[in-house]
A and B are shown apart, each in its own frame.
Chain A
C-alpha cells in the first residue's frame, strides 16, 4: 500500500471538499461511509487516488493497462482496467468482482479516464472531492491549482473578489437564457468581421477577461474605444436574454474611426480578409489594454496584455551556416502561425500517393514549417561573407490560444498576374498535439513525457471557413461551446455536427490549450 503513496510521511491531513450549495457532499452513500470512518482512511484514500491518477496520466499507459489475474499472471489490455483504490492491485473487469468479494475492497479507478467505480452502487460515481482532483490532473498535470495563475491575472482588476457578499449585493445573476449564442448581423459585407468576432466571443480567456471587468467601458474615456465596444458586446452576449442577432455598431464605428495603419486597406465597404481583420483587432485591443507599444512582427516583443496572454507565442529560428557551422538564434513573437499550402500540395502530388483530391493534413503543414529545415542565403558574421545556411524554425513558447491561418491563395504568374484561391481540403484534428513542433521536442527525446505532451495538447475551438472565390464570397464560422458545435452564419446560429465541422475547408483555425479548460 505504501508503495504507491507519493508522500508517505506527509503530516498534512487531507480534507474532503467543503459542501457546496446545490451539490451533494459525496458521490454516493458508500463513499460517504469511507470518508467518515476516520481521518487516516480519508488521508490514504485521497493520497491513493492521487497516486493512481499519476500512474494513469503521467506514466506509460502500459502500466495502468496491465492487470494481474487472480492466478498472478499479468495481462495487458486495450480496454479499461480497474485500479483498486484500497490496495495496489490492478484488475481486469472480470476479476474486479472476485477481488471485491475476497478483499472487501469496493472502489476502483477506471484506467482510461480516472473515474471512480463503486462496486456497491455498481456504477461510476462522481464524488466532488475526487472529481476535483481528477479534473486538475487531467487539465494541468498537477494537483496544485494552476487556475490560480489565471485568477492572478485578473486580480488587479477585480478588487471585490475577496468579498462575496459585495458581489451578490451589487450584481444580478445573468439569465439562464444568456448563453453567448447569438448571431451578428451583416452590416453590408462585414461577414469577415463577424466570424472573427465570434471566435473572440467564444474564446474562454477573452470571455473571462471581459466578463470580469477586465476592460470596463464605464471607466474608459477613450472615445470610440474598440475594447469598450468589445466589452459591451460581451455583456450583451452573456448577460442579455436576447436571442436575435447582435448589431455590432460600436465595433464597426470604432473600426472605421480607428487611425491604425491596418485600417487603410480595410477602409472600403467591400469584402475583406478575415485574417487581416483578426490581426487588426488583436493589435487594436493590445493597444487599448497593453503596454502601448506597437507589436511589430518579427520582434521578440512581450507584453502582459490580455491579447498577448491569449494569442501570442514565440518562435525560435535557428540558422546554421553551412560553411563554418556557426549558429544564430532569433526569437520572434507570433500572433498566429501561417501555413502555406501551395508548395505542399504540389510536392505531395509528386512524392507520395496522395489522398483523393490532394488532401493534406494540418500536421503535414506543420511538419513542413516547424520540423523540416530549409536552405537560405545569409550573411554569416563568422565567415564575414554570404553563405548558404540551413534555417529551422520551432516554437519556443506555445500560446494559450493557437491561431492558425492556412494560406489559401497563391499568385499565378502570367500575363495578368492574379491571386488564386487554393481549395485543397486540409484535414484537421479536434485534438492537436503541438509538442513535436516545440523547441523542447527538438532538443531532447520527449516520447515518454506524457505530462509534457498533455500540456501541449490543444482542443479545436473555432473554424473560420471561406466559401466562394478569391475576391468574393462569404465567411462562416464554427465554434464550440462546451462540447456542442454551432455554425455561425452572420445573424443565424445553428447546431452543427462534428462531421460538418471536420469536413469544412478551414481558412483560420483556433485551438485552445487543454490545460486551461
Chain B
C-alpha cells in the first residue's frame, strides 16, 4: 500500500538546490530543476545521515531534506514564473511592435495579414506565438504598459549598477535600499540648523567646521534628492502652513472654533495642566492674565501657542489688541527663555542637536514622535518667530534669547545623568498631564 513518506527520496533532488545568488542563475536552476539530471549544480550542504544511523535518524534526515526542498521549490517557482512571464510578454511586445511598423501607422492595431518573425516570437494571423524558451531567447524586460525597457538594477545603494545613459528606461525603477534614504533614493533636509537659525550658525562655522552645512535650508544648494518639508493650505483660513505644524494649526483654527479656543488652550496650559486634554477648564481668559507662570516644563507648548499668536498678530496687524501682546510677553518671551537656558546649559555642544531632538517632542506637550526632521523643523519655526515679530515686545525678547542660546555652555554632565533627568522630567509630565486622556493602546 502506501509506503511511509520519503523512503524513496534519495538525496539527489535536494542536491540540486541552488546556492547561487544572482537571479538569473536561480532561474536557470528552476528551469532545470524539474528535470532529473543531477549534474554538478552546487550542493546546498545537506547533511546526510551516516550509514550506521538508525532508521529513525535516516527518516528524519530525509523528511527535513524534503521540507527544505519544498521551500526552495516554492520560492523558485515564484521567481521563475515572474521572470519567465515578463520575458515572454517582452517577446510578444517586441514582435507586435515590429508588426505595427510593418503596417502603415494609420490604425491602432497592426494589420493581421502581416507576418513578422523574431528570434523569440512569431506574429501571424493577429496572434503572437513563442519560439523557444523566452528565458533563453529574450534578455531584457519591457514594461507591459509603456513598452520601455525596465531598469533591472537599482541606481544607488545595495546592488546598484550604472544604467546605460543612452537608454530611456521605464519610469518604474527597482527600489533603492540605502541607509538614510527612502526607496526612491530621497532624503529630507538633515536634522541640524535650519533657516531660522542661519545667522547663528554662520557665526559658529569657523569654530566648528565639522558642524553640518549651515545652508541645508536653502533649496538651491541642496542636491535634487534632498527634499524639504512642504507647506499646505489650511482649508479654513487659506493660509499656508508648514506641514509639520498643520495639525497644530488646524487644532486651533478649526478645532474649537478658532482663536478663542486657542487662547483658552493657552490659558489652560499656562495654568499648568500642560496636556490640554482636559476640556473642562472654563476659566475665562481674562482672569488668568496675572497667573504666575510655572517652571520650564510648560514652556514648549506655550511657545507653539505663541506661534499661533504670532500668526494672529500678522493676520490682524492692528496696532490695538493689547491683550495679545501682553500674553506674548509673559507667555512666549520670558518663559521660552528660561526653558532654553535650562535645556542648553546641560548640553555639550556636540550633543545639542540630538538632545534637542529627543527632548523636544516630549517637552512639547506630548507631541509624539521621534521624528527627527520635523521636530527639528518645529524647532526652527519656533525660533524663527522671534525676528519676524514686528511688535516691540518680542523684539526686546529675541536678542536676549539669542545671547542666551549662543555660546555653548561649558558644564558637561555625563550623558547618563543627562538622560536621567530628562526621563524624570518626562515622567513628571506624563503623570501631570495625561491622566484623563485615552492611552495609546
Measured CB to CB, the residues of A under 8 A from B are 19, 21-29, 32, 62, 66, 69, 73-80, 82, 92-94, 96-97, 110, 112-113, 115, 117, 121-126, 173, 175-177, 179, 181, 183, 185-192, 224, 241, 243-245, 247, 249-250, 252-253, 256-257, 264-265, 267-276, 405, 407-409, 416, 418-419, 421, 466-475, 483-484, 486, 489-495, 507
Contact = CB atoms under 8 A, between A and B. Distances in A.
A409 B236 contact: no
Interface in B58-110: 63, 66-67, 69-70, 73-74, 77-78, 80-81, 84-85, 88-89, 91-93, 96
Contacts of B81: 115, 124, 126
Interface centre among B9, B183, B250, B255, by most chain A C-beta atoms within 10 angstroms, is: B183
Nearest to A31: B130
B54 interface: no
Contact of B73 (A79, A267, A467, A473): A79
Contacts of B361: 472
Contact of A19 (B127, B227, B251): B127
Interface stretch (B39-47, B338-346, B430-438): B430-438
A212 to B, nearest CB: 18
Contact of A175 (B78, B96, B171, B235): B171
Given A187-B243, A256-B255, A78 B5 contact: yes
Given A257-B254, A269-B276, A76 B2 contact: yes
B217 to A, nearest CB: 17
Contacts of B127: 19, 25
Contacts of B439: 273, 409, 419, 421, 470-471
B277 interface: yes
Contacts of B371: 186, 191, 474, 489-490
A79 B279 CA distance: 65
Interface of B: 1-9, 13, 30-32, 34-36, 63, 66-67, 69-70, 73-74, 77-78, 80-81, 84-85, 88-89, 91-93, 96, 121, 126-133, 135, 143-147, 170-173, 175, 177, 182-184, 186, 188, 227, 229-230, 232-236, 243-248, 250-251, 254-256, 275-277, 279, 361-362, 365-371, 374, 378, 426, 430-431, 434-435, 437-441
Contacts of A19: 126-128
Contacts of B434: 471
Contacts of A495: 175, 177, 183
Given A121-B133, A494-B177, A23 B88 contact: yes
A176 B145 CA distance: 7
B368 A271 contact: yes
18 contacts: A24-B91, A76-B3, A76-B5, A96-B36, A110-B77, A121-B133, A124-B77, A124-B84, A126-B85, A185-B243, A247-B232, A252-B247, A268-B277, A269-B276, A272-B440, A471-B439, A471-B440, A474-B368
B78 A483 contact: yes
A350 to B, nearest CB: 25
Contacts of A73: 3
B431 to A, nearest CB: 7
B96 A22 contact: yes
Contacts of B84: 123-126
A75 B66 CA distance: 14
Given A24-B89, A78-B5, 14 more contacts: A23-B128, A28-B130, A77-B8, A93-B36, A94-B36, A126-B88, A186-B244, A188-B246, A252-B246, A271-B369, A273-B439, A416-B431, A472-B430, A493-B182
A200 B78 CA distance: 27
Contacts of A257: 235, 254
Contacts of B9: 77-79
Contact of B430 (A188, A471, A474): A471
Contacts of B96: 21-22
Contacts of A124: 30-31, 34, 77, 80-81, 84
Given A93-B13, A270-B437, A273-B440, A176 B171 contact: yes
Contacts of B5: 76-78
Contacts of B184: 243, 493
A241 B73 CA distance: 37
B235 A269 contact: no
Given A74-B1, A79-B13, A93-B13, A270 B365 contact: yes
A69 to B, nearest CB: 8
A175 B145 CA distance: 9
Given A28-B133, A122-B32, A409 B441 contact: yes
Contacts of A244: 186, 227, 230
B84 to A, nearest CB: 6
A218 to B, nearest CB: 17
Given A92-B8, A256-B254, A247 B36 contact: no
A117 B77 CA distance: 11
Contacts of A79: 9, 13, 66, 69-70, 73
Interface centre among B32, B63, B431, B437, by most chain A C-beta atoms within 10 angstroms, is: B437
Contacts of B275: 268, 270
A202 to B, nearest CB: 14
A279 to B, nearest CB: 12
Contacts of A275: 441
Contacts of B227: 244-245
Contact of A267 (B8, B80, B130, B256): B256
A268 B129 CA distance: 63
B8 A66 contact: no
B92 A23 contact: yes
Contacts of B244: 185-188
A186 B374 contact: yes
A110 B243 contact: no
Contacts of A405: 441
A24 B172 CA distance: 23
A106 to B, nearest CB: 13
A268 B130 contact: no
A250 B255 CA distance: 14
Contacts of A92: 8
Contact of A22 (B92, B129, B368): B92
Contacts of A224: 235
A405 B146 CA distance: 41
